[in-house]
């Protein structure tokens, strides 16, 4: 049976992130992807100025109420960038309206990076986002978001594996069984992710060689690859490893191609690799 996911993110017209990333990646993985846009922006808010921003909050519940009459089962509800703290409450209601016990609630908190909240983000977002993480089976914060969610000071370096494990275990204590923290570095040479699975009490760090630079939208690219691999039947660790490889390759191809980094990474060129990996048992 084909899997169905509902992706709840903004649309940024230019600058690959959010729905312009989630939709093609899920589709390439053979997932039937439905969308609810949270906001409409001309670009994402990192490294651009003068962007437009339309908050679509008043549409979320009318859309969800209509969808709830259609008799659909969603295998995953995938939330990302939300336009305001109030939208967290709306997404919680959407979960009540649209999810059943089998739905994988997959939350990318998507409100901060490099120690700071995103440009338009309200200071209440981390506290409100905690409530959404509590309803999730899987959360995918970057290290900055992990620290905000736990009210922990952010450290970009100078921490060790035990510290990262502690963050993952405490995040899981908020509710989610699976926690994947991105943007982890124990040395200058490498960057990677921390993966924690509460039921098996399994924790692993996975690394790839680090590329210098700031890569916009890679959190969304990684999360979309991860959910695609999970819906494709991969266990959490294998799915996280595949998503990390696909993200790393997207960054490498972008650097080789010379496209300005604010336009996001060339994940399109990695979709055949994802499809091939998902064909293997």
Cα 222 from Cα 238, distance rounded (Å): 13
Contacting ligand PXL (CB under 6 A), which of 126, 176, 217, 232? 217
Q: Does 17 bind ligand PXL (CB under 6 A)?
A: yes
**Which span sits near ligand PXL by CB under 6 A: 40-48, 70-78, 236-244, 265-273?**
40-48
SS3 (DSSP) at 36: strand
By CB under 6 A, residue 12 contacts ligand PXL: yes
Contact 47, 73 (CB under 8 A): no
Q: Is 46 in the site for ligand PXL (CB under 6 A)?
A: yes
Instruction: Kindly tell me the sign of the dihedral angle through the C-alpha atoms of 195, 196, 202, 204.
Output: positive
Other C-beta atoms within 10 Å of 66: how many? 10
In the chain, the largest separation of any two C-alpha atoms, in whole Å, equals 52
- Judged by CB under 6 A, the stretch of 96-104, 179-187, 215-223, 235-243 that binds ligand PXL is 215-223
Of the listed pieces 171-179, 212-220, 223-231, 244-252, which binds ligand PXL according to CB under 6 A? 212-220
> Minimum CB separation from ligand PXL for residue 45, in Å?
3
CA distance from start to end of the chain: 16
- Both tokens of 122, joined, read 């309200």
The one segment of 12-20, 64-72, 92-100, 136-144 that binds ligand PXL by CB under 6 A: 12-20
Closest contact distance (angstroms) between CB of 144 and ligand PXL is 12
Q: Check residue 140 for interaction with ligand PXL (CB under 6 A).
A: no
Distance CA 4, CA 71 (A): 13
Q: At closest approach, how far in Å is the CB of 93 from ligand PXL?
A: 22
Q: How many residues are present in the chain?
A: 281
Cβ–Cβ under 8 Å, residues 130 and 124: no
Binding residues among 144-203 for ligand PXL as defined by CB under 6 A: none
Q: Does 110 bind ligand PXL (CB under 6 A)?
A: yes
Q: Using the rule CB under 6 A, which residue among 74, 81, 196, 267 binds ligand PXL?
A: 81
Number of residues that bind ligand PXL (CB under 6 A): 14
3-state secondary structure 208-256: EECCCCCCCCHHHHHHHHHHHHHHCCCCHHHHHHHHHHHHHHHHHHHHH
Complete DSSP assignment for 138-203: EE--BHHHHHHHHT----SSS--HHHHHHHHHHHHHTS-SEEEEEEEEEETTEEEEEEEETTTTEE
In the complex, least distance from residue 217 CB atom to ligand PXL, rounded to whole angstroms = 5
Smallest distance, ligand PXL to C-beta of residue 152, A = 21
Q: Is 10 in the site for ligand PXL (CB under 6 A)?
A: yes
The least CB distance from residue 41 to ligand PXL, in Å, is: 5
Using CB under 6 A as the binding rule, whether residue 41 contacts ligand PXL is answered as yes
Q: Establish if 118 lies at the interface with ligand PXL (CB under 6 A).
A: yes
Binding site for ligand PXL (CB under 6 A): 10, 12, 17-18, 41, 44-46, 81, 110, 118, 217, 219-220
């Amino acid at each position: 049976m084909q899997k169905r996911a509902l992706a709840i993110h903004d649309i940024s017209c230019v600058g690959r992130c959010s729905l312009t990333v989630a939709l093609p990646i899920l589709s390439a993985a053979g997932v039937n992807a439905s969308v609810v846009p949270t906001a409409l922006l001309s670009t994402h808010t990192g490294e651009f100025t003068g962007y437009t921003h339309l908050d679509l909050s008043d549409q979320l519940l009318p859309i969800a109420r209509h969808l709830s009459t259609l008799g659909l089962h969603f295998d995953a509800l995938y939330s990302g960038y939300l336009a305001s703290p109030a939208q967290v409450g709306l997404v919680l209601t959407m979960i009540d309206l649209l999810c059943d016990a089998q739905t994988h609630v997959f939350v990318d908190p998507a409100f901060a990076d490099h120690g700071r909240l995103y440009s338009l983000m309200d200071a209440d977002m981390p506290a409100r986002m905690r409530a959404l993480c509590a309803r999730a089976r899987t959360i995918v914060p970057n290290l900055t978001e992990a620290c905000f969610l736990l009210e922990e000071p952010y450290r970009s370096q100078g921490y060790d594996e035990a510290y990262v494990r502690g963050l993952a275990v405490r995040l899981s204590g908020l509710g989610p069984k699976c926690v994947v923290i991105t943007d982890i570095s124990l040395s200058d040479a490498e960057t990677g992710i921390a993966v924690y699975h509460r039921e098996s009490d399994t924790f692993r760090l996975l690394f790839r060689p680090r590329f210098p630079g700031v890569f916009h939208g890679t959190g969304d690219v990684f999360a979309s690859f991860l959910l695609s691999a999970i819906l494709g039947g991969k266990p959490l660790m294998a799915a996280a490893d595949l998503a990390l490889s696909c993200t790393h390759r997207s960054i490498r191809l972008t650097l080789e191609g010379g496209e300005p980094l604010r336009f996001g990474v060339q994940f399109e060129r990695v979709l055949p690799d994802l499809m091939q990996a998902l064909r293997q048992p």
